[in-house]
Structures are given as structure tokens and as C-alpha cells.
């Protein structure tokens, strides 16, 4: 164990959370600048893609889609910070900016904020799974299920579903109704329906001004790529081999934040597009820290840079992880779980 790793282990998650309190101060000027340097390029690039597509340069429009999708992801991260009250000092400004961006990201802001708050309050808790997270079974739970339930879970975890059909379904279809909050009062319905109305009006105006086909040619690739990138980021932040899950009796939010969330090491350009959300363990330790201060935390506290590190190439291996092995205390693949089960059966028969 390195000296830095030892320092992190010596300092408990709760102590780290307290040490990070001074960073929970958003700057109005910095927040406005971050918003401007994201919104203006996104709108400008969208317009250029539209001009290209209407002039028959469809391949050129497609070539610019990944850049526009990156800006869409950054918009979502700004909306995410608004939900934590971390973009600007004003709560009202955060909320209304978040709601406006929610129309662009196709995410009902107030409903998502409640769901995401539950995610932060329960992440890594085996007894409180199911809201705001990626469905995760333990090896024992998976083995105990019938073949049909196991098949459903395997399909859900398949990369073509998780990172292909899943993101499009989540943002385009599932976000249109307050699933999981149908009977939780008026807010979930109000948030969802007003966002739907905003999407309908914005899309209607764009279709009216640009035409239906050009609108789809420009916007659909942006949404597909942006949604896939967003789900991928969320996946790697919690579905890495060294994460941690605990039953309620042993679970602690600060410890889960520190050891159950990754430090996703991305190249600087990708860090910018993702709003530094790869510094996820720090974000979970203190969610009120603005995204534009997360790297500052690592510079001031280099010991945190040694916890839960997942490199870009290494992150590709996270795709195979699907189950939490309570005995080995790590995420494993279906193949590893099957092999472990065979070894256990052989030991029992012996």
C-alpha cells in the first residue's frame, strides 16, 4: 500500500466529507461563464449542422454530431449541478436553469432531482436498490432466480441493451412519465408534463422552421450519442470492479461515497465535456461542490487521487461486470459467477 493510499484509509469517509466543506461555495460569475461556454457552442454547432444537412452535406452534419453530443452531455452535467444547488449561489436560479436545460436533455428536472437525491442517499446499500441506479443483483440473488428472470437480467446487462437501446429508451420514452413516482404527489407529474410540453413546443418550432427530415438528421444522432455517453459515464462511476456494496447494518454513506464511486481518469478534453463528473467519489462525498471545483479538490488533496482509479482503457473491462459477489466482495462477470458456482458445487460434493 502506498503512503497516499494509507492516508486515505486512515482518514474516514466522514472526515473527508467534513474536510471538503470549504469547496461547497459556487461562484455566480464562474457558473454563468460555464453555462455560456456550453450553451453558445451547442446552439451554434446545431445551427451549422442544420445548414450543412439542408445543403446536402449530411455526412458533414453527422461528422459534427459527436462534438454536439459532448456539449449535450455537458449541459446535462450543468443541469445535474443545478439539482445539487451547486452551479450558482441562488437556489431559484439553479432550479429554473435546470428546468430549462431539462427540455434540451429531455429530462424532467424536479423529478430527476428527487430520484438523484435518493441515489446519493442509498448508493452502495444492498437493501435500498432500485431508484436512480443501475439494477444490480448479487451472485446469490441471480442464482436463486428462475431461468426467465435470469434471462431478463442478462438481456438488461447486455452491452447492446445497456449502451444501445437502453439510453434511447431512458431519455426518449421512460422520462415522459414519472415511473416509480406515479403515486408520490403532484410534483412528479407536473415536472414530467411541463418538460414534455417544453419539448413539444421546442421541437415543433424547430420542425416548423427547418423541416421534419433536417430536424431528425441533426438532432437524432446528437440525442443517441449523448444519451449513450451519459449512461456510460454513470455506469463506470459505480459498476467498476473495486466498488463496494453493503447491507444497511454495515452501510455508511460517506464510506460508500469514498470507496463505492470511481475516479474515472479521462483525457482533459473528455473531462471538460463530462463536467469533471469522473471525480465521482469526491462528488458523492460532498455533492454541493460545483463541477468546476472538483479538480481543485484533487490538486489540494492528492491522496484522493489514489482512490477508486479507473483509466479509460481499463474502463472498457467494466462492461463484463454484472453481479456483486458478496463472498469475494467485488463485481464479477456472469462467467466468473458460473465458475465460482461450479467450484462450490464440487467442494460440496467432495
Cβ partners under 8 Å of residue 257, min gap 6: 13, 17, 123, 281, 284, 285
pLDDT in tens, 99-143: 999 999 999 999 999 999 999 999 999 999 988 889 999 999 999
As a whole number of Å, the CA-based R_g of the chain is 21
- pLDDT score, position 342: 62
**pLDDT one-digit tens code per residue, 305-349:** 989 999 999 999 999 999 999 999 999 999 999 887 765 454 444
Residue 4 pLDDT? 43
Non-local CB neighbours of 79 within 8 Å, separated by 6+ positions? 97, 98, 101, 102, 105, 107, 109
142, 338 contact by CB (below 8 A): no
Report the predicted TM-score, pTM, of the whole model to 2 decimal places.
0.92
pLDDT of residue 14: 83
**pLDDT (tens digit, 0 to 9) for every residue of the chain, 350 residues total?**
444 444 454 467 788 989 999 999 999 999 999 999 999 999 999 999 999 999 999 999 999 999 999 999 999 999 999 999 999 999 999 999 999 999 999 999 999 999 999 999 999 999 999 888 899 999 999 999 999 999 999 999 999 999 999 999 999 999 999 998 999 999 999 999 999 999 999 999 999 999 999 999 999 999 999 999 999 999 999 999 999 999 999 999 999 999 999 999 999 999 999 999 999 999 999 999 999 999 999 999 999 998 999 999 999 999 999 999 999 999 999 999 988 776 545 444 44
Q: Is 56 exposed, middle or buried (0-12, 13-18, 19+ CB in 10 A)?
A: exposed
Measure the CA–CA gap between 133 and 113, rounded to whole angstroms: 13
Return the closest-CA partner of residue 326 out of 142, 171, 111, 104: 142
- Cα–Cα distances in angstroms (integers) from residue 4 to residues 148, 276, 280, in the given order: 46, 22, 18
Share of the chain above pLDDT 90, in %: 90
pLDDT computed for residue 207 by the predictor: 96
Cα–Cα dist 84/71, whole Å: 20
Amino acid at each position: 500500500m502506498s503512503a497516499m493510499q494509507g492516508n486515505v484509509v486512515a482518514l474516514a469517509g466522514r472526515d473527508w466529507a467534513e474536510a471538503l466543506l470549504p469547496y461547497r461555495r459556487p461562484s455566480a460569475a464562474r457558473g454563468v461563464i460555464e453555462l455560456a461556454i456550453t450553451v453558445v457552442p451547442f446552439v451554434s454547432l446545431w445551427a451549422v449542422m442544420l445548414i450543412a444537412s439542408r445543403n446536402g452535406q449530411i455526412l458533414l452534419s453527422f461528422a459534427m454530431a459527436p462534438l454536439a453530443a459532448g456539449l449535450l452531455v455537458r449541459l446535462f452535467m450543468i443541469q445535474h449541478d443545478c439539482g445539487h444547488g451547486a452551479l450558482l449561489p441562488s437556489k431559484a436560479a439553479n432550479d429554473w436553469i435546470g428546468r430549462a436545460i431539462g427540455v434540451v436533455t429531455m429530462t424532467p428536472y424536479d423529478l430527476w432531482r428527487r430520484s438523484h437525491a435518493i441515489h446519493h442517499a442509498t448508493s452502495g446499500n444492498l437493501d435500498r436498490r432500485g431508484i436512480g441506479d443501475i439494477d444490480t443483483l448479487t451472485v446469490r440473488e441471480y442464482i436463486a432466480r428462475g431461468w426467465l428472470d435470469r434471462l431478463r437480467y442478462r438481456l438488461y446487462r447486455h452491452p447492446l441493451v445497456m449502451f444501445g437501446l437502453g439510453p434511447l429508451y431512458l431519455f426518449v420514452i421512460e422520462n415522459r412519465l414519472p415511473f416509480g413516482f406515479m403515486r408520490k404527489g403532484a410534483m412528479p407529474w407536473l415536472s414530467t408534463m411541463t418538460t414534455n410540453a417544453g419539448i413539444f413546443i421546442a421541437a415543433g418550432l424547430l420542425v416548423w422552421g427547418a423541416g421534419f427530415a433536417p430536424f431528425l438528421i441533426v438532432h437524432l444522432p446528437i440525442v443517441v450519442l449523448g444519451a449513450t455517453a451519459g449512461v456510460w459515464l454513470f455506469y463506470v462511476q459505480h459498476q467498476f470492479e473495486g466498488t463496494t456494496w453493503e447491507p444497511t447494518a454495515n452501510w455508511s454513506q460517506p464510506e460508500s461515497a469514498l470507496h463505492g464511486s470511481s475516479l474515472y481518469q479521462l483525457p482533459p478534453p473528455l473531462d471538460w465535456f463530462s463536467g469533471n463528473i469522473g471525480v465521482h467519489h469526491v462528488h458523492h462525498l460532498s455533492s454541493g461542490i460545483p463541477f468546476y471545483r472538483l479538480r481543485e479538490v484533487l490538486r489540494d488533496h492528492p491522496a484522493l487521487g489514489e482512490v477508486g482509479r479507473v483509466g479509460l482503457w481499463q474502463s472498457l473491462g467494466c462492461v463484463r461486470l454484472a453481479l456483486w459477489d458478496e463472498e469475494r466482495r467485488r463485481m464479477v462477470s456472469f462467467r466468473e459467477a458460473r465458475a465460482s458456482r461450479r467450484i462450490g458445487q464440487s467442494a460440496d460434493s467432495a
